[in-house]
Chains A and B, each alone.
Chain A
Amino acid sequence: MSAPSGPLGVLAARLPGRADTPAARLVPPTGFTAQLTVFTAAAMSFLAVFAIAMALAAGQLADRWQAALSQSATIRVSAPADQIEAQTAAVLRVLETTPGVGAARRLDDNEMRGLLAPWFGTDLPVEALPLPHLIEVTETGAGFDAEGLRLRLAAEAPGAVLDDHARWRRPLVAAAERLRAVSLVALVLIALVLAAMVTLAAQAALAANGQVIRVLRLVGAEDRFISAAFVRRFSARALAGSLAGTLAGLGAVALMPRAAADVGLLAGLGLSGSAWLWPLVVPAAAAALAYAATRVAAARTLRRTP
């Protein structure tokens, strides 16, 4: 067998350097190792696209939650009915003089009804219920001193509780950042596996072509000439396989379900905007890895050939 069959074979055959250069023609077809290289590059690239999509999605998620964490807070005022209006007014006065607070406003009944609607429906008579008042606080870029604000609220409005969202957002941000780190580690592992597989395939091809290498050395071929024949071949096959794997990966990512805009916890795995360009790095990286791995394998083999 001289080349991988099917679309990948066609693609590999059309790539420059596969068989048209003098050096490449001197090395006989490498059979199974060629198929192995194309398949490995395709599979690893497919996985790499997913790892990139995962890393980007996790990064966006972490950034969004981080931004939300640093920009908003809620104050809940719970007090007896005859005191709640006074304490709410006191809280708003405190907020007006608190550095780092950009805006503060009390949620009206309609907004309260909207918040409770998922649990109680839209007909809830919130005005008849002893619900706490909620005050939405928007921070300036510098942010406010949460501990200082809590102390002042305790003094001015004992029924007010500041919730800066850190309790529940921080673990989620940490989880998203960890997910991004794991995705990046997965990318590195994918690259290492690809390099290892190409090295093994190249070494097998070099070992199987011991006589070819001996003859080439005998007639005066320099190491870089012999090495180039194998390097071109394996780089071209890795590039061909990787292009196919990347395209398949991009197709699969495009088919992933999108997260709805109003669902805060899931950002969705799909790529958007310029993020679609990142997976295009994968084929170039795969070819570069194959190039380096084959060069190392060839150099090691040629050193043993007199």
Chain B
Amino acid sequence: MIGFSSAGFGYAGARPLLTGLDLALPAGSFHFLTGPSGAGKTTFLKLCYGELVATEGGVTLFGTDVRQMDRDGIAAARRRIGVVHQDCQFLDHLTLTENVTLPLTVAGRPVPERDLADLMAWVGLTDHADARPPELSGGERQRAALARAVITAPDLILADEPTGNVDWEMAVRLLELLVDLNRMGKAVLIATHDLNLIRASKSQVSARLLRIRDRQVQAAGAEL
């Protein structure tokens, strides 16, 4: 689904932030990406959904080299990827429901009311359907971002520190939701420095650990 071939990224005039990346994220896989703050976890995720383009080597999204894709091609690939950011950016003038259905709106697809209701119930936000994002707590925003990320049934979910702003109980709840998605066949990649979250997943899912060290992404070995 996503492939890195001797890929790396660096800003102009600076030392590469990531280099020599050779790995693949296959369909149905579950990965954690760890590393210290500033190691390049977010950069790696951005390479995965085409916000950044590798400055060395190549990255393929669904079999196509990102460099060969035009902006519409990148947009089409992103409609197959659900992204959950730590800061959960929303359109604050829209209701929560409108925000969650945003990927359908931009794709020109109808909103299946029953599926939407199920999704809102799944993330526990049924009672907040008409609320505006600024009215939500951190945990509610994270769950809303997750709902938005999965409403189009994407092939891959990328989550960047999804539990960074929530308490442990909510972190576990979010993890369970992501595990549920993986069981539905979706590939999941979670960037986190929360080792407790990784440990908590052991009993729920067969995940692989990727670690950023010395500007390279290393497979941490056996499945968790």
Residues A219 and B148 in contact in the complex (CB < 8 Å), given A22-B105, A306-B51? yes
Residues A26 and B105 in contact in the complex (CB < 8 Å), given A211-B89, A218-B89? yes
- A217 near B89: Cβ-Cβ < 8 Å: no
Interface string of B20-51 (1 = CB under 8 A from A): 00000000000000000000000000100111
Interface string of A195-234 (1 = CB under 8 A from B): 0000000000000000110111111111101000000000
Asked if A16 lies at the interface with its beta carbon under 8 angstroms from chain B, I say: no
A residues near B (Cβ < 8 Å) are 22, 25-26, 28-29, 211-212, 214-223, 225, 302, 306
Alpha-carbon gap, A223 to B74, bound state (A)? 11
Q: Which 9 A-B pairs have the closest CB atoms?
A: A220-B79, A221-B106, A220-B78, A28-B93, A219-B103, A306-B51, A222-B75, A215-B89, A220-B75
Contacts of A217 in B (CB 8 A): 75, 78
Alpha-carbon gap, A283 to B149, bound state (A)? 43
Contacts of B90 in A (CB 8 A): 215
Identify A222's interface contact among B71, B83, B98, CB under 8 A: B71
- A219 near B102: Cβ-Cβ < 8 Å: yes
Identify A223's interface contact among B71, B92, B103, B107, CB under 8 A: B71
Interface string of B203-218 (1 = CB under 8 A from A): 0000000000000000
Asked if B220 lies at the interface with its beta carbon under 8 angstroms from chain A, I say: no
Contacts of A219 in B (CB 8 A): 78-79, 102-103, 106, 148
Identify B93's interface contact among A29, A214, A222, CB under 8 A: A29
- A28 near B91: Cβ-Cβ < 8 Å: yes
Residues A216 and B51 in contact in the complex (CB < 8 Å), given A28-B91, A211-B89, A222-B71? no
Query: Chain A nearest CB: distance from B61 CB in Å?
Result: 12
Residues A26 and B91 in contact in the complex (CB < 8 Å), given A218-B83, A220-B76? yes
- A220 near B107: Cβ-Cβ < 8 Å: yes
Query: Chain A nearest CB: distance from B151 CB in Å?
Result: 9
A212-B91, A223-B72 are known; give 14 further A-B pairs, CB within 8 A. A22-B108, A26-B94, A215-B91, A215-B102, A218-B83, A218-B89, A221-B75, A221-B106, A222-B72, A222-B75, A223-B75, A302-B71, A306-B50, A306-B51
